[in-house]
Chain A
Amino acid sequence: MFYVSVFVQYMGQYMKTKLQYRADLFVEWLSDLMAQAVNLIFLLVVFSHTPLLHGWSRDEMLFIYGFFLVPYAVFAAFFNLWDFNERYIVQGEMDRVLTRPVHSLFQIILERMELESLLGAVPGLVIMVYVGSRLSLSFHWYDALMFILLVVGGVLIYAGIFISLATISFFADARTSIMPMMYNISSYGRYPVDIYHRVIRYILTWVLPFAFVGVYPASYFLRKEEWYGYAFFTPVVGALFFAIAVMLWNAGVRWYRGTGS
């Protein structure tokens, strides 16, 4: 409860900060939307040349991509950890975080949130509605709940992986280039996994489960029943990876406090 109220307070302050720079905010939104639009057009062009891939139609692949954008946007809004090493370890901001009576990871998430990234979900929703109507998919009332559950699962998977990566900074003082590499790998989850080699499919499912952020959950809405098992497994994988990440984080903080910087 305390954490929720702190969260709300931070959110309020965040809004105020953003509203201070009105022009800035406007330009940012505009450029974000434009970037998303370009992305969308690019996708349509690419997919228009690949009508059918391993039994997935163009529209289905677009739908997967559309779905992926939603958890990704939520992740990008709240888990802005890509410069964690630089900001918190090298510059020593971690010390300040550790002198406050709130869990350190929670504080960093709050300090670094970028709510405007949530806009990235809009094109995703547009794509899903558009493709969904073309594919004449049927929706039930409980699909809305399912959608939320699967999105949360996807966010937790992303968060889990990137928190675990950030944890490396506690142990190694050198900067690593793993973070950008992981962003690249994560994009593989946006495409149907059965187009990949067995090994890659295995990795994307069980090692770096990015497939659970794109294909698997999306196939639930595409009514691909052969993937349902995986789709329903999404929240479980999310919870698992997130829990592991938090444990790693705590171990990292313990280590950091043992060694200093």
Chain B
Amino acid sequence: MNIIEVEQLRKEFKVHRSRSGLVGAFRDLWTRRYTTVRAVDGISFAVKRGEIVGYIGENGAGKSTTIKMLTGILTPTSGRIVVNGMNPHQEREKFVRTIGVVFGQRSQLWWDIAVQESFRLLKKVYRVPDEQYDRHMGEVIEMLEIGSLLDKPVRKLSLGQRMRCELAAALIHNPPLLFLDEPTIGLDVLVKLNIRQFLKQLNERYGTTILLTTHDMSDIEALCERVIMLDEGKIIYDGSLETLKEKWGQGKRVAFTFAEATAAPPLQELTVGLDVVWKKGEQPNIWVAHVPSGGVPEVVSRVAARYPLQDIRIYEASTEEIVRHIYEEGAVHG
């Protein structure tokens, strides 16, 4: 069952273009020139219940705008959105009770009061019955290990502690769908791990559907089976992380450290018939073979049989590199 359905979603902003100079400023007073910017340009996708989807893209690709439309903050210019069976911007107050939202750069909690008091206010705002609150939040608090923080005011928490409390706050009403916008921004590795683990547990135990945006590819690798990649307001990839890696990972690099300095021609001759490109390494006795995935064992065995070797290292392109590469190319072909 689809929990999010988006069809031909489009959002345009009118941006005021200011003219340069003092004269320009005066002219701006009378006639303003606007350009229409398509922040989100006709995207369509669907998310099933229980999925964890990574929504990635460069700054300004339209991620935040999409999230704001999905959470009912912004009204789309055109297109159809159905989230949790509702139209987010039309039935806002009813709709938001079925979602949880965490903006990594913005706090849900009240600065001056203890964390549990913030929770209590939110519990009231979301009309959560006591019994449901105690049961559900008890588990959430335990999973996030924030029991000892509950009586501290938010201003005294570290960023990592605060972020965990933010997550708990977004889950007070046990929403079936959770939006996370940059949830791990600025956090240290341990807190990141803790949060990822929590999100996984949440997903497994409650079947919570999670849509997250992040710049940290390790978040995506740890959590998401599926990624949606956005560039200039359009979806350029929607599918599993594995496929993305296989198709655009551009194989592997094998660095051979030979016992003696070698030249390119004999090496090329050695790997004739295989789709291998040789490149010079940092030292005269190091050569790097760019090998398509699957071809590594054959190359290694041929080279090792012919030359005495000191070392072999195999590198795989990281998701980060793959993603960067895709952005540089502009779009995913195929």
Using a CB–CB cutoff of 8 Å, the interface residues on chain A facing chain B are 2, 5-6, 9-10, 13, 16-17, 20, 92-93, 95-96, 98-103, 254, 257-260
Contacts and interface: CB of A to CB of B under 8 A. Distances in A.
9 contacts: A5-B124, A6-B124, A98-B73, A99-B101, A100-B96, A100-B126, A257-B73, A260-B13, A260-B74
A234 to B, nearest CB: 32
B71 A99 contact: yes
Nearest to A99: B101
A260 B65 contact: yes
B121 A259 contact: no
B110 A257 contact: no
B125 A95 contact: no
Interface string B134-155: 0000000000000000000100
Given A92-B106, A95-B68, A260-B13, A101 B96 contact: yes
A20 B114 CA distance: 10
A43 B274 CA distance: 96
User: Chain B contact residues: over half helix, strand or loop, or mixed?
Assistant: mixed
Interface stretch (B86-94, B207-215, B237-245, B282-290): B86-94
Q: Which 3 A-B pairs have the closest CB atoms?
A: A9-B124, A17-B112, A99-B101
Contacts of A257: 73-75, 89
Contacts of A102: 93, 125
A259 B14 contact: yes
B127 A2 contact: yes
Interface in B110-136: 110, 112-113, 117, 120-121, 124-127
A17 B72 contact: no
B101 A9 contact: no
Interface string B191-224: 0000000000000000000000000000000000
Contact of A99 (B73, B75, B94, B153): B73
Given A100-B96, A101-B94, A102-B93, A16 B117 contact: yes
Given A13-B110, A96-B108, A99-B71, 5 more contacts: A9-B121, A13-B113, A100-B96, A260-B13, A260-B68
Given A13-B117, A17-B113, A259-B13, A98 B72 contact: yes
Interface residues of B, number: 31
Nearest to A259: B13
B75 A101 contact: no
A9 B89 CA distance: 27
A103 B93 contact: yes
Contact of B106 (A2, A9, A93, A98): A93
Contacts of B74: 257-258, 260
Nearest to B71: A99
Contacts of A17: 110, 112-113
Contacts of B71: 98-99
Contacts of A5: 124
B116 to A, nearest CB: 11
A95 B124 CA distance: 20
Interface in B1-31: 13-14
Contacts of B49: none
Nearest to A8: B124
Nearest to A254: B75
B97 interface: yes
Nearest to B11: A260
A2 B14 CA distance: 38
Given A95-B73, A98-B72, A99-B71, A16 B113 contact: yes
Nearest to A94: B73
B278 interface: no
A2 B124 CA distance: 9
A42 B98 CA distance: 56
A101 B72 contact: no
Given A17-B112, A259-B14, A99 B124 contact: no
B117 A6 contact: no
Nearest to A96: B106
